[in-house]
Amino acid sequence: MSETVANGLRFHVEVLQRAPGPCERRPKVVMVHGLSVDMSSFYLTIVGGVAVESDVYLYDLRGHGRSEVPERSYSVADHLADLVGLLDAWDIHEPVHLFGNSFGGIVALFFAHHHPERVASLFLIEPHLSGEGWGRRLAEGIVGFGDDEADRQSVIGNSPSRIRWAQRAETLLRTTSVLEDLLTEAHLPSESLEALRCPVFSIYGSGSDVVEEAGARDRHIPGCQQLIVPGCTHRVLAEASLVVRDHAVKWVRGQNKALTPCT
């Protein structure tokens, strides 16, 4: 298992690189997963396709997967500092194509706002809302998830591996400051969205609980391209993995082509 120390923490990382062919430019893609999951949410869905033409950098967020689990410090600012540290540890100084799923989409948006020089483009899969009180609403949604047995059953299921995953997620929420930190998150004002200069693609499930508000939010992002996948929910990355993967591959390829071709 590969590990890298960044921002004072030990992270489980995975770097998928190939030597570039003659005159081939391999863009760098960095993927930021959502809360309570880990890098496998990307690895088992879209990485296989994206890694054909790009170098892909994955990591388990602090407290998640096989990364270190500090008791405190789970704010977006902490995640941004982690990402800066990881990019430096990977010796990446060129702008990257930043992918974010769910909470990872929020981290990606904030990262593009605070570190525009390090982001070539954003590919956002069901990014959570980022307006006033977004953290509190997300925290309330997470806490309320346990109350709906049918919803809980549909997400967790009965397999021993999924039950172990759910137990770990509950432990994370119970023993760390994840929820507490969400309550005090700052929002990303529309002026900040309007100031984003990198190309942005966002993808949602038609049945997602954030699609309408997020759609309105995305209209503040200059030139933001949006896709809504019919019949899917907030879990569109898992529910329509091939659709998301095909769009991800096309997105990075298109961004890469826009750069000066090698001669």
Cα atoms found within 13 Å of the Cα of residue 183, Cβ hemisphere only: 6
The answer to the question of residue 241 lying near other proteins (CB under 8 A) is: yes
Residue selected from 4, 10, 25, 66 as contacting other proteins according to rule CB under 8 A: 66
- Judged by CB under 8 A, the number of residues near other proteins is 27
- Give the range of 86-94, 129-137, 155-163, 213-221 binding other proteins by CB under 8 A: 155-163
Cβ-based nearer residue to other proteins, 109 or 232: 232
Q: Among 7, 11, 38, 217, which residue interacts with other proteins (rule: CB under 8 A)?
A: 38
Partner residues linked to 3 by β-bridges: 12
The 181-220 site mask, x for binding other proteins (CB under 8 A), equals: ----------------------------------------
* Residues belonging to the chain: 263
Q: Does 44 bind other proteins (CB under 8 A)?
A: yes
Q: Which residue in 121, 130, 103 sits closest to 222, CA to CA?
A: 121
Per CB under 8 A, the list member of 4, 131, 145, 165 interacting with other proteins is 165
Distance of CA 115 to the CA centre of its chain: 16
**Short-list 10, 199, 4, CA closest to 87:** 4
* Cα–Cα distances in angstroms (integers) from residue 46 to residues 32, 53, 58, in the given order: 13, 12, 12
SS (H, E, C) 25-89: CCCEEEEECCCCCCCHHHHCCCHHHHCCCCEEEEECCCCCCCCCCCCCCCCHHHHHHHHHHHHHH
Q: Which of 131-139, 178-186, 204-212, 238-246 is the region at the interface with other proteins (rule: CB under 8 A)?
A: 238-246
Q: Which residues pair with 132 in a beta bridge?
A: none
Here's the x/- map for other proteins, 1-20, by CB under 8 A: it reads as xx-----------x-x----
Task: Please state the closest distance from residue 243 (CB atom) to other proteins, in A.
Answer: 10
Residue 204's H or E segment, with its range, is strand 200-205
* Minimum separation from the CB atom of position 109 to other proteins (A): 25
Q: Is residue 172 within 8 Å of residue 69, measured between CB atoms? A: yes
**Are 27 and 255 within 8 A, CB to CB?**
yes
Choosing from 77, 190, 238, 253, the residue that interacts with other proteins (CB under 8 A) is 238
Q: Given candidates 55, 60, 181, 185, which one binds other proteins under the rule CB under 8 A?
A: 60
CA distance linking residue 92 with residue 53, whole number of Å: 17
CB of 194 to other proteins, least distance (A): 36
- Report the alpha-carbon distance of residue 37 to residue 169 in Å, rounded: 8
Nearest to other proteins of 27, 95 (CB atom): 27
Pick the binder of other proteins from 183, 216, 242, 258 (CB under 8 A).
242
Which residues contact other proteins (rule: CB under 8 A)?
1-2, 14, 16, 38-41, 43-45, 47-49, 51-52, 60, 65-66, 159-161, 164-165, 238, 241-242
